[in-house]
Amino acid sequence: MKDFYVSVGQTVTFSKTVSESDVYLFAGITGDLAPVHVNQALMERSAYGQRIAHGALLVGFMSTLSTLMVDQAEDALVNGETPVALGYDRIRFTAPVFFGDTITLTYTITAVDTVKRRSLADIEAKNQRNEIVAVATGLLKWVRKED
């Protein structure tokens, strides 16, 4: 029997090829129409040579990982606890993500605090060339239903 809903070392992954439509839909939803994301002509003359995806889009992918981890803790809700994302710490974008890159993210539980009802995870995002493009620490809070 497990002591908690997740355990140290437990891992989930998610992969997605970032398309032009992903970036434009994200830009439209958020209002972030910065030229680095949507101006091809300008970015062709830049140090990157092409448009780059929003870092916040990668944070959205990190949220997907949290959901996938929560899906593995299906008995939490039955037991009156609601797992929710508490946040993402130390987010760093270490390399650009270009349109057409396939990003694979890994979420690995590194600590469980049964008293505070929290779990921590290392998050790492790599492109198809196995280059790390983003890292973060994910926090989940397991909220108990009050009697």
* pLDDT for the residue 2: 64
Predicted TM-score (pTM) of this structure: 0.92
| Number of domains within the chain | 1
Q: Which residue has the tokens 């990190």?
A: 62
Mean pLDDT by 10 residues, the chain (147 residues): 83 98 98 97 97 98 96 80 93 98 98 95 98 98 81
Question: How far does the chain reach from its first CA to its final CA, in angstroms?
Answer: 25
* pLDDT for the residue 78: 72
Q: What is the identity of the amino acid at 8?
A: V
Q: Which residue has the tokens 């797992």?
A: 83
Q: Which residue has the tokens 């439509």?
A: 21
- Bridge partners (DSSP) listed for residue 52: 98
User: Which CATH number do you get for residue 114?
Assistant: 3.10.129.10
Let me know if 23 is exposed, middle or buried by CB neighbors in 10 A (0-12, 13-18, 19+). Answer: buried
With respect to residue 45, please indicate whether it lies within any of the assigned structural domains. Answer: no
The separation between CA 30 and the C-alpha centre of its own chain, rounded to angstroms, equals 17
* pLDDT for the residue 58: 98
* pLDDT for the residue 15: 98
With respect to residue 35, please indicate whether it lies within any of the assigned structural domains. Answer: no
Domain of residue 92: give its range: 11-18+59-144
